[in-house]
Amino acid sequence: MIQKELLNALRRWIIEGKVEAGKPMVIDTFDGQIVFRQPLADEEKVNGVEERKRRKEKV
């Protein structure tokens, strides 16, 4: 059942042109719905890690 829901949602995104070949996607759930999104940019991830490190150092 989950697989069917996932494939149906993915099909809709492909038809709507929201999926680009060769680009990674993140699959998640929100309010009981399957959602797809782009992964965070590498820069955002790096900044997030740096920010967490600074917070830990302050404590």
* Average of per-residue pLDDT across 36-51: 64
Give the global pTM.
0.53
pLDDT in tens, 22-43: 888 888 888 988 888 888 765 4
Q: d(Cα 47, Cα 33) in Å, to the nearest integer?
A: 29
- Map residue 35 onto helix, strand or coil: strand
DSSP letters spanning 19-32:
--TT---EEEEETT
Residue boundaries of the structural domains of the chain: 2-58
Highest mean pLDDT among 9-13, 17-21, 32-36, 44-48: 9-13
Total H helices, total E strands in the chain? 2, 2
Token pair belonging to 6:
């996932």
Q: How many CB atoms lie within 10 A of CB 23?
A: 8
In this prediction, residue 45 has a pLDDT band, given cuts at 50, 70 and 90, of: low
Residue 16: the pLDDT is 92
